[in-house]
Amino acid sequence: MLIVTDFVPTPLSKRILDVVVALVGLVLLFPFLLVFFLLLAIERMIHTEARGRWFYCEERMSGSKAFKFCKIRTCWPKVYEAEMKQEGFIETVRIESKPENLTPVGKLLKKVYLDESPQLWNVLKGDMSIVGPRPPNCKDYKIQLAEGIFVKKAMRGGLTGLFQSYKGHFNEIKDAWNLDEQYIDFCRAHNSWQILLMDLKIIGRTFKVVWEHKGV
């Protein structure tokens, strides 16, 4: 089990990969994002109940630091309001898994994973890496620490990770439940260039998962 002092710093090669991939991703996605924001504007004109903020943002943890984690809003505003009133926080994975909670354009955004694109800006800022454990919300983070689970504290959070890259293919690898911990152990035991190659492999597998619509 990881201990508190097991924080794994980001090698320079990994940071360079983060910046390059984030910049290229933002440039390539820009035309598609313009189209989707136009569709969202039209949706808001047609469906008054879809009007509201363009982005959904919440505080999440990356390593031991809190940051503003944003996604393009895909659900009806009333869904977020009801979730916040009932739970005191918003569990996006749970509410977005229900098709009836998504707006028409939101469903399309989720299908092509463009709702996650604002996180490329988080990567550029250094809040996240392209590859790392998925950053948890503050409530789950505190619960994990109280239970002695320090996986999410040991490394900067990632847009994707070893766990996400095997979604739909967990039968291909042993101990799939602790893939994030396996990745952290790998980074601790290998040099920066080996970590870079591993990150490239994970990015490649992530594209496969996205192409197969297995999720990320």
Instruction: Tell me what pLDDT residue 132 has.
Output: 94
User: How many domains does the chain contain in total?
Assistant: 1
> What are the backbone angles phi and psi of residue 15, rounded to the nearest 5°?
-65, -40
Indicate if the pLDDT at residue 1 is higher than 50: no
Strand 55-62 relative to strand 65-72, pairing: antiparallel
For residue 175, tell me if it sits in a domain.
Answer: yes
Q: Is the separation of the CB atoms in 38 and 105 below 8 Å?
A: no
Q: Cβ atoms within 10 A of the Cβ of 140, count? A: 15
Instruction: Tell me what pLDDT residue 167 has.
Output: 79
For residue 4, tell me if it sits in a domain.
Answer: no
For residue 5, tell me if it sits in a domain.
Answer: no
Q: DSSP of 23-58, one letter per residue?
A: HHHHHHHHHHHHHHHHHHHHHHHH-GGG-S-SEEEE
For residue 90, tell me if it sits in a domain.
Answer: yes
Please tell me the distance from the alpha carbon of residue 42 to that of residue 140, in angstroms, as a whole number: 36
For residue 93, tell me if it sits in a domain.
Answer: yes
Q: Of residues 36 and 150, which shows the higher confidence score? A: 36
Query: Span 94-123, mean pLDDT?
Result: 92
Q: How confident is the model at residue 176 (pLDDT cuts 50, 70, 90)?
A: low
Q: How confident is the model at residue 126 (pLDDT cuts 50, 70, 90)?
A: very high
- The domain in which residue 112 lies consists of 12-211
For residue 173, tell me if it sits in a domain.
Answer: yes
For residue 32, tell me if it sits in a domain.
Answer: yes
| Mean pLDDT over each residue of the chain, to the nearest integer | 88
**In the structure encoding, which two tokens stand for residue 178, read together?**
């602790």
pLDDT tens sequence across 26-46: 999 999 999 999 999 999 999
